[in-house]
Amino acid sequence: MKNLDNLLNLLASKDLAYTEFVHKALNIAELAEIFDVGDIDLWQILGLDIVKYAGKVELKTRLRPICDQEFCIVDVETTGGVKSGQIIEIGAVKILSGDIVGKFHSLVYAPEVPENITELTGISSDDLTNAPKIKSVMERFRHFLGSAVFVAHNVNFDYGFVSKSMSDCGFGILLNRKLCTIELARRTIAFERYGLSALKELFNITNTHHRAFSDAVAASEIFKISLSRLPQNVKTTEELIKFSKTAPNLRTKPILNEG
């Protein structure tokens, strides 16, 4: 949703007059068709941390110090792609000022799990027989996530999957601010590879790979390492998000074996 991205980028740089905000939001057909874009409370319910004051709309993450921001590091395991697959496991940890302040984990019922997914994750159909249905899990996760910044390793996949699942269950799409730990790692860690398994090996992070909660914990460790390496001029949440997308890439060339 290009118009939504444009609106959020504008809010990330300055407060907007309420009338201007509504005018621009009405041009986002995907949103204007599903809820009253003039109702700030509805934006908040969908995860966007905005407030209305003195006739203006403020994105709270614009000026909020990173140490005061809640980040929710998320990982999902699925049966396939966004269009045809479904979530079978979701794990998340919520971080505030470097400390874990919340944990979320659930398997999700699915009638069957493809063999290749079982081989990858170790999750079989039998494991999901008594798991809660997707609607129940998404309702609980929406409450857990709140307006925290949604963080993931390859965030567009996890964010897109959770957002579609939320929408399919009748809870609306996600509007939370989001941040990718791959993008952030590329700008804070000089290395040749940025997949989760490669970074776990680099920093001696040991846990079960391709399980949602374990991968969320691993991604949170990478996230905290990246935060510790930020330049001093990156102080607010929106500055962090911008830095993760625009700062110079530190990726190194692979070292070739000699002889």
The pLDDT of residue 259 is above 70: no
Residue 178 has which token pair? 């989001």
Per-residue pLDDT reduced to its tens digit, 184-236: 999 999 999 999 999 999 999 987 777 999 999 999 999 999 999 999 999 99
Q: How confident is the model at residue 176 (pLDDT cuts 50, 70, 90)?
A: very high
CB atoms within 10 A of CB 130: 8
The pLDDT of residue 153 is above 70: yes
Residue 210: per-residue pLDDT:
79
The pLDDT of residue 258 is above 60: no
- State percent of the chain over pLDDT 70: 98
Angle, alpha carbons 204-208-212 (nearest 5°):
115
Residue 204: per-residue pLDDT:
94
User: Across the strands, what pairs with 213?
Assistant: none
Residue 207: per-residue pLDDT:
78
Task: Calculate the average pLDDT of the chain.
Answer: 95
Task: Count how many residues are written for the chain.
Answer: 259
The pLDDT of residue 73 is above 90: yes
For 200, the enclosing helix (H) or strand (E) is helix 196-202
**How far apart are alpha carbons 46 and 119 in whole angstroms?**
35
The pLDDT of residue 256 is above 60: no
Contact 198, 191 (CB under 8 A): yes
Residue 164 has which token pair? 């579609």
The pLDDT of residue 123 is above 80: yes
Per-residue pLDDT reduced to its tens digit, 23-45: 999 999 989 989 999 999 999 99
- Over residues 127-154, the mean pLDDT reads 98
Residue 10 has which token pair? 């504008």
SS3 content of the chain, % helix, strand, coil (to 5): 45, 20, 40
- Over residues 151-164, the mean pLDDT reads 97
- CATH 3.30.420.10 placement within the chain: 66-240
Give, in words, the CATH class of 66-240.
alpha beta
Residue 154 has which token pair? 């390859």
Q: How confident is the model at residue 156 (pLDDT cuts 50, 70, 90)?
A: very high
- Over residues 134-139, the mean pLDDT reads 98
Helix (H, G, I), strand (E, B) or coil at 158: helix
Residue 7: per-residue pLDDT:
96
Q: How confident is the model at residue 255 (pLDDT cuts 50, 70, 90)?
A: low
